[in-house]
Every structure is written in C-alpha cells, then in structure tokens.
C-alpha cells in the first residue's frame, strides 16, 4: 500500500474551478481544476500505491468498478461480464468491444493479459493482489481467463484501487518504468495526459474517442494542481475561487456550513486511524502496559471532542463499513485505576514507581495532532512522559520500517488496496522478516495461518471467512497490539455549482471527473 496509508485523506484535497460562460463559442472550453494535497510519487500504474490514484483514475480504467453506496455492487467497466468456477479458482471475463487506448491501440484480451502479467513481473507495490493468479489465458480476442492456484476473489481484485489498471501492450512493452516516471500515462480513461510540471500541476484533456461518450455539460479539460495549505483551500472555497475541497479539519467546518454557496458532505468510508504499539520495544513489549494504555484513554470523549462528526470511535481493527466487521467486540472500558493496576503487574512496575517513564510517539498531520496531544495527556496520568515527533510521512515510513528506531506509539491511517478485511490483517499484522506495514512488530504463526485461511475462503465460502475475521479482530484487541481509535468519515465540501459528485468509498480521495457536470 505505500505512503498512501500514511497520507490521511485529511491532508488530501480536491478542488474544482469552473471556467465557462453561458454562451459557448468554438474556442471556449470548460475547465475543472482539481487541487491535490501532494504530488505524484510514481507514474507507473503497476507500482503507484498512494495518492496518485486521484489523477490516474481519470486516465486509466479497470475491468470492474466497485460501488459501495448501496451494498457491494460491481459495475462493468472494461469487462462487460464474468463468471467463476464453483471453487473460485477459475474466472472468465468477457471484455468490452470498441475500446481504444489514448494512443489508438485497441483494448482486448491481449491488453488485459499483458497488464496483469506486467504487474506480476514488476512485483512491486500492489502486485501482491494478483499472487494467487497462476496464469492469465487468452480464450479469444475479447475473452480472458484467470487461473488461480487457490480460491481467490478476482472480481474484487479486478476492481482494486491499486494494481488493476489496464495499459496498452504495444507501447508499454517497449517502455520501462523510467520512461513513465518522466510524466507519461496512456490509458482508456476519459481524460488523456497533456503535460506535467513536477510539484506544480498536471494537465489533462478529454479523450474524444472515449467509449463512455460525452455530454455537452461535461468538462473538456481537467487540471490537477497541488495546494497543500488548508487555510488556502478554505479561503478559496469561501471566495468562490474553487468549487470542491476535501480534507478540512472538523473544527473549521462550522463556518463552511454557514456559507450560503457551500455544501458539506460527510459519509461512510473505509478509512480508519490507529496507533501501532511496538511489541518488541520497552515498555510496550509488555501486554500489561499495552492494555493499561487502553484503559487510560477515553476513546468516546476523544472522538466526540476532536473529530466530532468527521469520525466515530473505532470498534476494533476494521472500520464499521467493511464486511465482517464485528460491532460486538469486547473492548476496554475507560478506567484509569484499572490501568494503574495493570501497570503494577508489568515488568516495569519498579521503574514506574520511581517516576515518569519516557516513551516515543510519531504523529504526522492534523487533526491527528490534536488526538496525539489527548493521548499524551491521558498517558501522563498513569506515569508516562510521551515525546511526540511530528515527522513528514516519507521519513516516518522509513523510521517505522527500522525496528530499533520505530516508536513505541506510531500513527497509521489505513484503507484497503481492494475491499477485503484481509487487507488489514495481511498487511499490518502478518509475520514479515522485513516489515512493509507490520509496525506493531507483533508476530504469531497461528494468527498468520488463520489470515491465509480467511483470505483463501473469501470467494468460495464467505461465511467461513467472516467467522475467522471476527476471531482475528478480538484477538488483536485482546493482545492490544494497536490502539484502534477512529473510523473516519468521507468528506466533501463543494460549491453548489458543481453537479454530479458521488463519493465512492472503494476509491478514497478520488474524484471521477467524467461523472461531474456543470
């Protein structure tokens, strides 16, 4: 997953500026400006694993598109239909005819096979999602078959936010990833790349031959600009200089709600916020200490006072909006005295009796900086002096991956690569020699075995997977490997002039410009 996990949606923003008049002439075009909170980390669609999807989702497309607004609905995109074997090991997709890439190449079974084979060959970023695929077989020009070595939810994987983009085989076969890093992207999507100015903006324009067609009131050009300052975004949307903004802290929303030309949207998302506890570093290597932390923090008050209506108290490691989430987990009550009793049972009792014990904490953006201060004050009451390090994400990730330098308490925001509970467990609590995301440094072979069993049963026996995932959720709570804090809500603040926006939880932070109109 990538820095994509560290950068919160609260620092990502998408801004639209409408540039048109009521009387169209031949030379006039409609322009929409999308303001991103950060630049492009990687242009290769096989490797991109962060906020690149804000841009790339308007250039590339997938076989399927996942809409979670009303249940779990898979919508045909570059595939028109699919079926699977009873055991979930063979999946056959019928592909859409008449689709062109921006360079004129046709989309067909060759392109689908090449795209997945390329991802697996590169083997970076989100390539793991195709791990069960043993072979991609071309049945005919518009039929492709995925043959897996074990049961696998290829339908959900084909709709993944990352690692599922289709690319032109003739062009990309002769180009390496270094060529793409110069600002190149060729897909089948509604917008094609025009220019890229690193750290400043990317310009795209509509692809006239887009298979989805065009209406008169859709945007001819989309410009993705980088604006990092929250105060600047707020000022612009109030003044009417921009039309849509994401990532505004809850304490700044009231003034926007009062504005006559602004609408505030909040809704369910798949994003949750937690703090990993380093299970191999003193004093959080002691389960009594970790459990004491839970009892010392009033998570209900934290959610109500800091996040208000932009987030809710988390019930375990999975957000409430993902299937298999267990709302009936046995949690820790807020009880400072109970926390102190647990500390007396810990191997650090003598040290704590002599005075405050210093521990490290990493936090990297607002509004979680307020949450960090709340946790700092809570733990101070039970004898811990928490030193908070506000380091930018790239440096944070490097520190997390170093077991010796990784903090006792480390902030993490998570959303899935594709919509499966296994994404949380497999990435953050599965045994790894060189951890990419397991920053609790907690390992358990039986836990690993159950993760693999749950993921392997998703396509053939989802109920079995649900039962296992519920067991894993309680297990992590009991071990107190992470402080599961907040289920985040999706947020959109927009000018009323922007029409057609819909939030898609499976693709956090993305505005699909082709779906918008004025």
Per-residue model confidence as pLDDT tens digits over 33-86: 887 877 898 999 999 988 899 999 999 999 999 999 888 899 999 999 999 999
Are 293 and 362 part of one and the same domain?
yes
Q: What confidence tier does 19 reach under pLDDT thresholds 50, 70, 90?
A: very low
CATH of the domain at 446: 3.10.105.10
Q: What integer pLDDT is reported at residue 69 of this predicted model?
A: 84
Contact, 480 vs 291, CB < 8 A?
yes
Q: Two tokens at 181?
A: 């890093």
CB crowding 19-56: b at 16 or more within 10 Å, else e: eeeeeeeeeeebbbbbbbbbbbbbbbbbbbbbbbbbbb
| DSSP letter (8 states) at residue 494 | E
Residues 144 and 79 placed together within one structural domain of the fold: yes
As a whole number, mean pLDDT of residues 123-152 equals 96
Residues 160 and 197 in one domain: no
Q: Determine the structural domain holding residue 134 and report its residue range.
A: 60-176
Residues 311 and 228 reside in one and the same domain? no
pLDDT reported for residue 244:
76
Per-residue confidence band for 358, with pLDDT thresholds at 50, 70 and 90: very high
Q: Which of 165, 156, 158 is nearest to 55 (CA)?
A: 165
Q: Are residues 18 and 160 in the same domain?
A: no
Residue 365: inside a domain: yes
DSSP-derived 3-state class of residue 83? strand
Residue 327 belongs to some domain of the structure: yes
Q: Is 360 a domain residue?
A: yes
pLDDT band, very low/low/confident/very high, at 13 (cuts 50, 70, 90):
very low
Which residues does residue 106 pair with via DSSP β-bridges, in sequence order? 100
Percent residues over pLDDT 90 in the chain: 77
Q: What is the DSSP letter of 100?
A: B
Nearest to 420 by CA among 504, 324, 332: 324
- 184 inside domain: no
Residue 16 has pLDDT above 60, yes or no: no
Contact 52, 163 (CB under 8 A): no
Asked if residue 14 has pLDDT above 70, the reply is no
Same domain, 132 and 36: no
Distances (CA, A) of 272 to 38, 114, 119, 334: 20, 34, 27, 21
- Average pLDDT for residues 98-123, to the nearest whole number? 98
- The mean per-residue pLDDT over the stretch 212-231 comes to 91
Average the pLDDT over 344-355 and give the result: 97
For 48, 149, 219, 322, 437, the CA distances from 4, given in Å and listed in that order, are 9, 29, 28, 19, 12
Do 335 and 476 lie in a common domain?
Answer: yes
Angle at 429 between CA 362 and CA 47, to 5 degrees: 80
* 144 and 281 together in one domain: no
Residue 281, pLDDT > 80, answer yes
User: Measuring CA to CA, how many Å separate 209 from each of 35, 64, 244?
Assistant: 26, 20, 28
331 lies in the same domain as 464 = yes
Identify the pLDDT of residue 436. 85
What Å distances lie between residue 263 and 66, 257, 416, CA to CA?
Answer: 26, 7, 28
Mean pLDDT score, 155-170: 98
CATH number of the domain at 518, please.
3.40.190.10
- CATH number at 66 reads 3.90.76.10
Cβ–Cβ under 8 Å, residues 66 and 156:
yes
What Cα–Cα distance (Å) separates residue 454 from each residue in 271, 334, 447?
21, 32, 11
Give the total number of structural domains in the chain: 3
Kindly state whether residue 181 falls inside one of the protein's structural domains: no
Query: What's the chain's average pLDDT?
Result: 92
Predicted local distance difference test score (pLDDT) of residue 167: 99
Q: What percent of the chain shows pLDDT beyond 70?
A: 94
pLDDT band at 15 (very low <50, low <70, confident <90, very high): very low
Tell whether 357 and 396 lie within a shared domain. Answer: yes
**Are residues 439 and 463 both part of a single domain?**
yes
Nearest to 413 by CA among 350, 469, 484: 484
The per-residue pLDDT for 21 is 35
pLDDT band at 276 (very low <50, low <70, confident <90, very high): very high
In a domain, 183, yes or no: no
Do the beta carbons of residue 13 and residue 36 sit within 8 Å?
yes
Could you tell me which residues are beta bridge partners of residue 242?
A: none
In a domain, 454, yes or no: yes
The predicted structure's pLDDT at residue 484 = 99
Contact assessment for residue 508 and residue 497, using Cβ atoms and an 8 Å cutoff:
no
Mean local confidence (pLDDT), 8-13? 37
The two structure tokens encoding residue 427: 């990435």
Lowest mean pLDDT among 107-121, 232-246, 421-435: 232-246
Reported as a pLDDT band with limits 50, 70 and 90, residue 5 is very low
φ, ψ (nearest 5 deg) of residue 16? -115, 135
Mean pLDDT for the stretch of residues 490-508: 91
Measured distance CA(255)–CA(123) in Å, rounded: 47
Per-residue model confidence as pLDDT tens digits over 387-425:
999 887 778 888 999 999 999 999 999 999 999 999 999
Exposure string for 389-407, b = 16+ CB within 10 A, e = fewer: eeeebeebbebbbeeeebb
360 has a pLDDT exceeding 60 = yes
Is residue 160 packed enough to be buried (19+ CB in 10 Å), middle (13-18) or exposed (0-12)? buried
Sheet strands (E) in 348-422: 357-362, 384-389, 409-414
In whole angstroms, give the CA distance from residue 30 to residue 214: 13
Q: Examine the domain organization and report whether 465 and 373 are in the same domain.
A: yes
The pTM assigned to this predicted structure is: 0.86
Residues 76-95: tens digit of each pLDDT: 999 999 999 999 999 999 99
For residue 19, tell me if it sits in a domain: yes
- Residue whose structure tokens are 């109500």: 304
175-203: pLDDT as tens digits: 999 999 999 999 999 999 999 999 999 99
């Amino acid at each position: 997953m990538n820095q994509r996990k560290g950068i919160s949606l609260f620092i990502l923003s998408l801004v639209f500026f409408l540039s048109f008049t009521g009387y169209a002439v031949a030379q006039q075009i409609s322009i929409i400006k999308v303001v991103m909170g950060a630049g492009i980390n990687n242009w290769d669609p096989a490797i991109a694993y962060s906020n690149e999807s804000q841009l790339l989702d308007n250039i590339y497309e997938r076989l399927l598109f996942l809409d979670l607004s009303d249940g779990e609905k898979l919508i045909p995109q570059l595939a028109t239909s699919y079926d699977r074997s009873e055991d979930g090991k063979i999946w056959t997709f019928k592909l859409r005819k008449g689709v062109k890439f921006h360079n004129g190449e046709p989309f067909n079974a060759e392109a689908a096979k090449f795209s997945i084979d390329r991802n697996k060959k590169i083997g970076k970023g989100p390539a793991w999602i195709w791990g069960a695929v043993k072979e991609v077989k071309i049945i005919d020009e518009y039929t492709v078959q995925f043959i897996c070595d074990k049961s696998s939810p290829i339908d959900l994987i084909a709709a993944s936010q990352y690692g599922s983009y289709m690319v032109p085989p003739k062009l990309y076969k002769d180009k390496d990833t270094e060529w793409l890093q110069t600002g190149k992207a060729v897909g089948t999507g509604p917008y094609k790349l025009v220019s890229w100015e690193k750290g400043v903006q990317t310009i795209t324009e509509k692809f006239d031959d887009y298979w989805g067609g065009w209406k008169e009131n859709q945007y001819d050009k989309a410009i993705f600009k980088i604006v990092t300052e929250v105060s600047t975004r707020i000022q612009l949307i109030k003044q009417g200089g921009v039309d849509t903004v994401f990532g505004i802290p809850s304490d700044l929303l009231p003034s926007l709600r009062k504005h006559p030309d602004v609408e505030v949207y909040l809704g369910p998302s798949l994003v949750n916020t937690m703090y990993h506890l380093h299970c191999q570093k003193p004093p959080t290597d002691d389960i009594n200490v970790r459990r004491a932390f839970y009892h010392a923090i009033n998570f209900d008050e934290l959610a109500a006072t800091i996040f208000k209506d932009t987030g809710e108290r988390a019930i375990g490691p999975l957000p409430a909006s993902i299937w298999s989430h267990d709302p009936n987990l046995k949690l820790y009550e807020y009880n400072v005295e109970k926390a102190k009793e647990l500390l007396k049972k810990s191997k650090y009792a003598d040290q704590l009796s002599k005075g405050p014990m210093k521990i490290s904490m990493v936090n990297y953006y607002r509004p979680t900086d307020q949450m960090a201060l709340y946790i700092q004050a809570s733990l101070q009451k039970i004898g811990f002096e928490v030193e908070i390090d506000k380091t930018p994400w790239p440096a944070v990730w490097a520190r997390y991956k170093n077991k010796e330098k990784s903090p006792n308490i480390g902030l993490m925001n998570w959303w899935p690569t594709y919509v499966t509970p296994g994404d949380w467990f497999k990435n953050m609590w599965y045994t790894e020699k060189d951890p990419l995301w397991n920053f609790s440094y907690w390992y358990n072979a039986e836990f690993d075995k159950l993760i693999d069993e749950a993921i392997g049963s998703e396509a053939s026996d989802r109920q079995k997977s649900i039962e296992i995932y519920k067991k894993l959720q309680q297990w992590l709570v009991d071990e107190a490997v992470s402080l599961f804090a907040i289920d985040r809500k999706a947020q959109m603040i927009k000018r009323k002039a922007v029409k057609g926006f819909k939030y898609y939880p499976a693709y956090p932070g993305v505005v699909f410009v082709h779906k918008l109109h004025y």
